[in-house]
Chain A
């Protein structure tokens, strides 16, 4: 666990250690808040979601398996899934094309360019380079901003089924590339 302090904290949280829970919040809440804001768009909703996410982290920590992935990956997965469920539950889900367009257009170079120097992140960047530019942007827009097929189809101005085909083929190519 020496190389994954978040996993070590999660194991303590699973044992109902409240001090570890506070430490986990201190160490990871800004990353998860960044995830929630990116997908939900407003601070107010991200703040509600943050409470829900850490409530789940406490209740689900026993299901974290340290040997099967990193602690931060597990936490971000919980945050992403919760935020995506909220987006999909909105009454207007799937019809706000402008919002989707902004989300895709958001280049947010952020830490990614810094991380690409690292081996693993470099590999995913190389694999995305094997996709056509608009398809790579669609996959990233879906993953990072939580866009639905419908929102992606609208913002890329292609029929829904075309978008579905694009993404499925892209996922297949990414899988082959990443599993090499």
Chain B
């Protein structure tokens, strides 16, 4: 409920920041607030002050021994090509020229990281309760590319395929294609926070109708990193 912001001015903003930090807002209001935080430094500062103000409540969270998922996190993070150091920018141009000239040599590739760093600005984790299947999605705005990788569960049963869907505010699923078993990259012009990604089980080759025909197995909202 963001209605008081206009008429209450800064006091309304301070209250909204408090509600955001407390966590009581709806998803739509949380996402709208998160979007404002990116460009409104005063609001970001108010929010940070509230985060620190209430931080002593964190003592009440009892630690629970965590499962060791570090290797999975590292796999997800470090299998992505590393962000290249700046000094390789020159190489990038040079490599680009070589590629254009059809002269790219494998030795160069192994010695110098190609400046293809994938820099995700949005992510989603697609899950469902009681469902071992998990997909991790990330989106690079600059490259307009969506990456999706299965991080839990097994391949689809014989004769079936997993199909990826994008569901925006209209509620009508749009197919982004059938998922193979490896890391999948697909060009995608735009992806916004709040959009839901979902995976359904379809006949091999994907749904023939343009809409999901099998069960939706997992889904998750897209959020800013």
- Among the stretches B104-112, B126-134, B156-164, the one at the interface with A is B126-134
Chain A nearest CB from B54 CB (Å) reads: 6
Chain A's closest residue to B124 (CB) is A52
Let me know if B101 is at the binding interface, CB within 8 A. no
Chain B's closest residue to A22 (CB) is B70
Contact of A31 (CB < 8 Å), options: B53, B61, B82, B152: B61
Q: Among residues 52 to 73 in chain B, which have CB atoms less than 8 Å away from a CB atom of chain A?
A: 52-67, 69-70, 72-73
* Contact between chains at B22 and A143 (CB < 8 Å): yes
- 18 A-B contacts (beta carbon < 8 Å): A30-B65, A33-B64, A42-B129, A47-B67, A48-B134, A49-B125, A51-B73, A51-B151, A55-B73, A56-B225, A58-B73, A82-B223, A89-B196, A111-B60, A115-B56, A121-B59, A175-B18, A179-B53
Contacting residues, chain B, for A38 (C-beta < 8 A): 61-62
Interface residues contributed by chain A, number (CB under 8 Å): 75
Contacting residues, chain B, for A120 (C-beta < 8 A): 56
6 closest cross-chain pairs (CB), A and B: A88-B27, A33-B66, A29-B66, A30-B63, A115-B59, A124-B56
Contact of A50 (CB < 8 Å), options: B27, B63, B67, B129: B67
Q: How far is the CA of A115 from the CA of B69 in the complex (A)?
A: 30
Given contacts A31-B63, A33-B66, whether A54 and B73 have CB atoms under 8 Å apart is yes
Interface of B is mostly: mixed
Let me know if B123 is at the binding interface, CB within 8 A. yes
The proximity string for B residues 114-154 relative to A, scoring 1 for CB distances below 8 Å and 0 otherwise, is 00000010010101011000101000000000000001100
Contacting residues, chain B, for A139 (C-beta < 8 A): 22
Q: How far is the CA of A106 from the CA of B193 in the complex (A)?
A: 33
Chain B nearest CB from A97 CB (Å) reads: 15
Chain B nearest CB from A162 CB (Å) reads: 14
Q: Among residues 1 to 42 in chain A, which have CB atoms less than 8 Å away from a CB atom of chain B?
A: 16, 18, 21-22, 25, 29-35, 37-38, 42
* Contact between chains at B23 and A143 (CB < 8 Å): yes
* Contact between chains at B48 and A68 (CB < 8 Å): yes
Interface of A is mostly: helix
Interface residues contributed by chain B, number (CB under 8 Å): 55
Let me know if B89 is at the binding interface, CB within 8 A. no
* Contact between chains at A148 and B24 (CB < 8 Å): yes
Q: How far is the CA of A7 from the CA of B30 in the complex (A)?
A: 27
* Contact between chains at A110 and B62 (CB < 8 Å): yes
Contacting residues, chain B, for A33 (C-beta < 8 A): 63-67
User: What is A's interface to B at a CB cutoff of 8 Å?
Assistant: 16, 18, 21-22, 25, 29-35, 37-38, 42-45, 47-52, 54-56, 58-60, 68-70, 72-73, 76-77, 80-82, 84-86, 88-89, 93-94, 108, 110-112, 115, 120-121, 123-124, 139-140, 142-144, 146-149, 152, 164, 167-168, 171-172, 174-175, 178-179
**Residue of B65, B67, B78, B82 with highest tally of chain A CB at under 10 A:** B67
* Contact between chains at B27 and A30 (CB < 8 Å): no
Contact of A171 (CB < 8 Å), options: B19, B63, B70, B76: B19
Given contacts A25-B70, A48-B127, A50-B66, whether A89 and B27 have CB atoms under 8 Å apart is yes
* Contact between chains at B60 and A44 (CB < 8 Å): no
Chain B's closest residue to A167 (CB) is B24
Contacting residues, chain A, for B64 (C-beta < 8 A): 30, 33-34, 37
Contact of B60 (CB < 8 Å), options: A81, A140, A148: A140
Given contacts A85-B30, A88-B26, A148-B24, whether A51 and B69 have CB atoms under 8 Å apart is yes
